Amino acid sequence: MCAQTIFTEVIDGGAVDFQPSPVAGIGTITIKTGRKYARYAIAEIPTCFSGRAVRMTKSLADREIGEPGSYDVLVGRGGQDRRCECKGFLRWNHCKHEATLRALLTNGWLDMVPAMVDEIPLDLPTAEEVNQMAVAAGADADPFR
Ligand SMILES: [Zn+2]
């Protein structure tokens, strides 16, 4: 087995490691600030804003009690608008998550993480159609219908 590639970039107050995954839609990052390391699974999510958004789901092992499990982070086209759901962003208008997303975009790393599929359109038959097919195939009609 070959060694996994890990990319590193400096962000405000620390650094971020990015590791692409062979599984579509998933990458992992480690945000390093001071002595704290926090690991997240990341996946791009659809956004109605002009820009790109990512859901960062924090590793259970790195979560503090009462902390949310994931943060949705947005960086607008050109990097001018930034949003994150975390308390740090609400207070300071910047945070390690949006700094991380900017690093992911600037380095082209996010394009190594194919967008998460929001909904897979399925064309499944209805229960009524299934019943009709069963009757056509010789089964008794459903006596409970
Ligand atoms: Zn944040």
CB atoms within 10 A of CB 55: 17
Establish if 14 belongs to a structural domain: yes
Establish if 92 belongs to a structural domain: yes
Establish if 12 belongs to a structural domain: yes
> How close is the Cα of 63 to the center of ligand 1, in Å?
14
Question: Nearest-CA neighbor of 86 among 76, 107, 100?
Answer: 100
Establish if 74 belongs to a structural domain: yes
Establish if 141 belongs to a structural domain: no
> How close is the Cα of 79 to the center of ligand 1, in Å?
15
> How close is the Cα of 100 to the center of ligand 1, in Å?
9
> CB under 8 Å to 34, separation ≥6 — which residues?
13, 14
Establish if 143 belongs to a structural domain: no
> How close is the Cα of 122 to the center of ligand 1, in Å?
35
Establish if 144 belongs to a structural domain: no
Count of domains in the chain?
1
> How close is the Cα of 126 to the center of ligand 1, in Å?
43
pTM of this prediction? Answer: 0.74
- The Cα–Cα gap between 42 and 18 comes to 10
Establish if 2 belongs to a structural domain: no
> How close is the Cα of 29 to the center of ligand 1, in Å?
14
> How close is the Cα of 139 to the center of ligand 1, in Å?
58
Give CA angle at 21 (4, 2), nearest 5°. Answer: 25
Give the residue with greater pLDDT, 36 vs 114: 36
Can you read off the two tokens belonging to residue 42?
């990341």
> How close is the Cα of 46 to the center of ligand 1, in Å?
18
First-to-last alpha carbon distance for the chain, in angstroms, is: 56
Q: How confident is the model at residue 118 (pLDDT cuts 50, 70, 90)?
A: low
Tens of pLDDT, residues 31-71: 999 889 999 999 989 888 899 999 999 999 999 899 999 99
| CB distance 86 to 97 below 8 Å | yes
Helix (H/G/I), strand (E/B), else coil: 28: strand
Domain that holds residue 122: 7-136
